[in-house]
Structure 1
Amino acid sequence: MKIARIETFHVPPRWLFVRIEADNGTIGWGEASLEGHAEAVDGALDAMRDRFIGADPRKIEDIWQVAYRGGFYRGGPVLMSALAGLDQALWDLKGRHYGLPAWEMLGGKVRDKVRAYAWIGGDRPDDIANAAKARRQQGFTAIKMNATSEIDYLTAPKLDDVVERVRAAQNEGLDVGVDFHGRVHRPMAKQLAKLLEPLGLLFIEEPILSENPEALSQLAGLVSTPIAVGERLYSRWDFKPFLASGAVDIIQPDLSHAGGLTECRKIAAMAESYDVAVAPHCPLGPLALGACLQLAACTPNVIIQEMSLGIHYNETHDLLSFCANPDVLTPEEGFLAIPEGPGLGIEIDEIKVREAAKNRHRWRNPIWRHADGSVAEW
C-alpha cells in the first residue's frame, strides 16, 4: 500500500482538514488547524507531499521521524501543525485499513468515556450566569472562561469583577477553569491568581506566557491552584523544561499543533512520569477532537477534554457541521464517549467539506490595543 494523494481543505470557521488516500482507495482524515495561519501550514503540507507520496502509510513512526528530522529545520507551530494533520490522517487511514480504532492499536482502552468541558463568555467575558446555566442544561458539569479582556502590566481592570464572574458560573453548579490566555503580565498575574485561589478552580490556564518559564515557576510558588500550560508548546522537547521545573500541574498539548497523536502520546507519557495530568487543548474541529478522544482512550493521566461545541469562534459552522456521525461527539451528562469506529472514529461528510472549501476562509484573530495605543495580548 502506498500514499497516492494528500489533499488539504480550508473549511469554516477556521479549520484545515487533511485527506490522505492510498493507492488501494483507503482514506484517512486529519486536522492541521493552526488558527489564523492556515495558509502557512498548507504550504508546509505541500512540501510534505514531495516526501510522502509513494510512502507506505502504515509506517507512521517512520513518516513522523522523516517529517520532523528530514527537513533539517524542525519544530514550531507551522511545521508541527502540518505534521499533526498528516499524523492524524495516517492513524485514521491505518485504522480504517485494519478495521480498528486508533486506541486499539495504541494498547487498548483505559476508560470508556472522558469528562468534557465547554467554553462560556467569549474573548471579553460577559453574561456569565446565563451562559453557565445554558451549559448546565446541556449536561456539562465543567466549563472554561477567559479571565479578562486586554490587561496592561500595572493598570488593572477591576480584578474583583473576575472573581464575581467565576462565582456566577459556580453558582450554577459548575466546576470552572479560568484561562488567562497569556494576556496577563507577571505583576497582574500574581494578584489575579491570589484573588482566585480561594474559589477552588479546576485550573488557571496560561497564567503567564510559556515563553516566560521563570515567571511561571515564581507564580507556582505563590498559589495552590493547579497551573495548566501547553497550547503554545509543540513537541516533547518544548514540554521537557516545564515538566522538570515542577511548576506545572496540568499540560495541554494540542493534537493539531503538537505533532499529532504520535507525539502527544509521548508527551503524555513524559508527563505521567512527573505526576502531571493531561487536558488536551482543542477549541478546533471534529477531527482534532476525534484524535483527542483516541488519546484519552489509552492514556491514564488524561483527566478532562476541551471541546468547541458552541464556542464563540464558530460563527458559520459548528463542531458537528461536517460530521456524518455527530452522535460520537455529542456529550452526555458531561462526558464524551470513546469512539468505537475505525481510525479516529469520525465520519466526515466529504461532499460538504469539498463544497465549503470552495470559499477558503481567511480567519484572523483580532488585534487589541491598550488605552495608550500600544499592542495588547489577545
Structure 2
Amino acid sequence: MKIARIETFAVPPRWLLCRVETDDGVVGWGEPVVEGRASTVRTAVHELAELLVGRDPMRIEDHWQLMTKASFYRGGPVLSSAVAGLDQALWDIAGRVLGVPVHVMLGGPVRERVRSYGWVGGDEPTQIAEAVAERVEAGFTAVKMNASGRMDPIATPRDIDRVVERAAAARAALGPDRDFAVDFHGRFTTANARRTIEHLAPLHPLFVEEPVLPEHTHRIGDVVAATTVPIATGERLFSRSDVLPALQAGIAVLQPDLSHAGGVSEVRRIAALAETFDVLLAPHCPLGPVSLAASLQIACCVPNFLIQEQSIGIHYNRGADVLDYLVDPEVFAFTDGCLARPTAPGLGITVDERAVRAADGSVPDWRGPVWRHPDGSFAEW
C-alpha cells in the first residue's frame, strides 16, 4: 500500500481540508489550516506531499519526522498546520486499515464521553444571559465567552467593569453547578490582565484563556502568580518546545489545536508533557469536522483531559457549519453537553466528499478583522 494522491479543498466558512488516498483506495481526511491563511497552508501541504506520495502511509511517525525536520527552516504556524492536517489523514488511514478508532491505537479509551462547552457571544456580547440560558437549555454544563472587544493597553475602570458585568451575567444564568470560561484573546497587556482577572476571581471562572500574547509567554508566569483563577493558553503554540515555557510558568490548562500543533502525533506528546506538570488539556477547536474528530480522539485517550472546544453554530461559521460536510451528523450529537466516544474506524467520521468538492473555492479566503485604537494605532483582535 502506497500513498497515491493528496488533494486539498478550501471550503466555507474558512476551512481547508485535505484528502489522502492510497493506491488501493483507502482514503483519510485531515484539516490543515491557519485561519486567514488557508491558501498559504494549502501551498505548504502540496510541498509536503512530495515527501509522502509513493510511500507507505502506515509509517506515520517517520512521515512526521520528515515533514517537520527535512528542511533547514522549521516550525511556525503555517508548516505546523500543514503537517497537522496530513498527520490527521495518515492516522485516519491507519485506523481504517486496522478497523479501529485512532484512540485505540494510542492506548485505548480512558473515558466514554467528552465534555464540551458552547460559545455564547461574539467580540461585543450584549445578550450574555439569554445566550447562556439557551446553552443550558441545550444541555451544556459549560460555556465560553470573550472578555471584551478592543481593549486599551491599560483599561479604564469602566472597561474593566464591562468585563466583570458580562462574566457576572454568565455566572448568574449558569448558577453554581456549571462553568464559564473567559477568553482574553491576547487583547490584554500583562498589567491589564493582572488587574482585570483580580476582579473576575470572585465569579470563579473555569479558566481565563490567553491573558497575554504568545510572544509574551515569558510573562504569563506573572499573571499566574497574581491570581488563583486557572490560567489557560496554547492555541498559538505549535510544538512541545513552544508549550514548555508556559508549563514551567505554572499555567493550569493547555490548549493545543489539533489543526495547528502538528496533528494527532504531536498533540498526544504535548498532552503527556503537560501531564508531568499537573496541567489539564482543553484542545482548541473553532474549526471544522475533521479537526473536531481528531480532537475527540485525543480527548478519549488522554488522562489529563478537561474539556473540549467545538464550533457548531459559532458566529464565525457563516455560509456553512461543521455538520454540513458529514455523511452522518449524528456522530457529533450532544447529550448533557457531552459527545460520545467515537467508535468508527480512523477519525470516526465519514466526510461528505461530494459536498466538499462542490464547495471548494466557492468563497474568498477568510481574513480576520483589523482593529485600531482611537489614536489610529494597531489593536489586537
- Whether TM-score is above 0.5 comes out as yes
Match for residue 158 of structure 1?
Answer: 159
Deviation per residue, 1:240-299 (Å, 9 max, x gap)? 1221232x1100000000000000000000000111100000000010000000001111
For 1:260 and 1:78, the matched residues in 2 are separated by 13
Please tell me whether the aligned partners of residues 117 and 304 of structure 1 are also in contact (alpha carbons under 8 angstroms).
Answer: yes
* 1:283 and 2:304 matched: no
Match for residue 346 of structure 1?
Answer: 349
Paired AA for residue 137 in structure 1: E
Match for residue 24 of structure 2?
Answer: 24
Match for residue 54 of structure 1?
Answer: 54
Aligned with 1:293 (options 293, 296, 307) = 296
CA displacement at 1:360 relative to structure 2: 4.6
CA displacement at 1:155 relative to structure 2: 4.0
Match for residue 70 of structure 2?
Answer: 70
Which aligned pairs between 1:226-265 and structure 2 lie closer than 5 A? 226-246=230-250, 248-265=251-268
Match for residue 213 of structure 1?
Answer: 217
SS state at 2:218 partner: helix
For 2:155 and 2:206, the matched residues in 1 are separated by 27
Please tell me whether the aligned partners of residues 224 and 249 of structure 2 are also in contact (alpha carbons under 8 angstroms).
Answer: no
* 1:325 and 2:323 matched: no
For 1:317 and 1:264, the matched residues in 2 are separated by 27
Match for residue 127 of structure 1?
Answer: 127
CA 358–208 in structure 1, closer or farther in 2 if over 3 Å, else same: closer
CA displacement at 1:34 relative to structure 2: 1.1
Match for residue 34 of structure 1?
Answer: 34
Q: Which moved more, 1:79-88 or 1:166-175?
A: 166-175
Please tell me whether the aligned partners of residues 11 and 361 of structure 1 are also in contact (alpha carbons under 8 angstroms).
Answer: no
For 2:361 and 2:245, the matched residues in 1 are separated by 43
Aligned with 2:192 (options 188, 203, 223) = 188
Match for residue 359 of structure 2?
Answer: 356
* 1:167 and 2:168 matched: yes
Aligned with 1:178 (options 172, 182, 186) = 182
Match for residue 199 of structure 1?
Answer: 203
For 1:34 and 1:374, the matched residues in 2 are separated by 25
Paired AA for residue 205 in structure 1: E
For 1:111 and 1:163, the matched residues in 2 are separated by 35
Aligned with 1:270 (options 273, 279, 298) = 273
Paired AA for residue 264 in structure 2: L
SS state at 1:10 partner: strand
SS state at 2:74 partner: coil
How many pairs were matched up?
A: 377
For 1:61 and 1:360, the matched residues in 2 are separated by 35
Deviation per residue, 1:163-190 (Å, 9 max, x gap)? 1211212222241000000001122111
Q: TM-score when scaled to structure 1?
A: 0.98
Match for residue 312 of structure 1?
Answer: 315
Q: Which moved more, 1:120-129 or 1:40-49?
A: 120-129
Please tell me whether the aligned partners of residues 218 and 246 of structure 2 are also in contact (alpha carbons under 8 angstroms).
Answer: no
Q: Which moved more, 1:16-25 or 1:181-190?
A: 181-190
Please tell me whether the aligned partners of residues 96 and 346 of structure 2 are also in contact (alpha carbons under 8 angstroms).
Answer: yes
Determine what percentage of the aligned residue pairs are the same residue: 52
For 2:154 and 2:184, the matched residues in 1 are separated by 16
For 1:360 and 1:236, the matched residues in 2 are separated by 35
Deviation per residue, 1:4-38 (Å, 9 max, x gap)? 00000001100000100000000000111210000
Please tell me whether the aligned partners of residues 112 and 297 of structure 1 are also in contact (alpha carbons under 8 angstroms).
Answer: yes
CA displacement at 1:214 relative to structure 2: 3.1
For 1:85 and 1:126, the matched residues in 2 are separated by 36
Paired AA for residue 270 in structure 2: I
Please tell me whether the aligned partners of residues 300 and 341 of structure 2 are also in contact (alpha carbons under 8 angstroms).
Answer: yes
Paired AA for residue 127 in structure 1: Q
Please tell me whether the aligned partners of residues 2 and 57 of structure 1 are also in contact (alpha carbons under 8 angstroms).
Answer: yes
Paired AA for residue 109 in structure 1: P
Deviation per residue, 1:83-105 (Å, 9 max, x gap)? 00000000111111111100111
CA displacement at 1:213 relative to structure 2: 2.3
Paired AA for residue 282 in structure 2: A
For 1:88 and 1:361, the matched residues in 2 are separated by 25
For 1:93 and 1:68, the matched residues in 2 are separated by 20
Please tell me whether the aligned partners of residues 14 and 36 of structure 2 are also in contact (alpha carbons under 8 angstroms).
Answer: yes
For 1:19 and 1:310, the matched residues in 2 are separated by 25
Please tell me whether the aligned partners of residues 218 and 245 of structure 2 are also in contact (alpha carbons under 8 angstroms).
Answer: no
Match for residue 82 of structure 1?
Answer: 82
For 1:107 and 1:214, the matched residues in 2 are separated by 34
* 1:3 and 2:7 matched: no
For 2:190 and 2:334, the matched residues in 1 are separated by 36
For 2:274 and 2:137, the matched residues in 1 are separated by 34
Please tell me whether the aligned partners of residues 282 and 306 of structure 1 are also in contact (alpha carbons under 8 angstroms).
Answer: yes
Q: TM-score when scaled to structure 2?
A: 0.97
Question: Structure 2, unaligned stretches of length 5 or more?
Answer: none
Paired AA for residue 160 in structure 1: D
Paired AA for residue 159 in structure 2: K
CA root-mean-square deviation: 1.0
Please tell me whether the aligned partners of residues 10 and 361 of structure 1 are also in contact (alpha carbons under 8 angstroms).
Answer: no
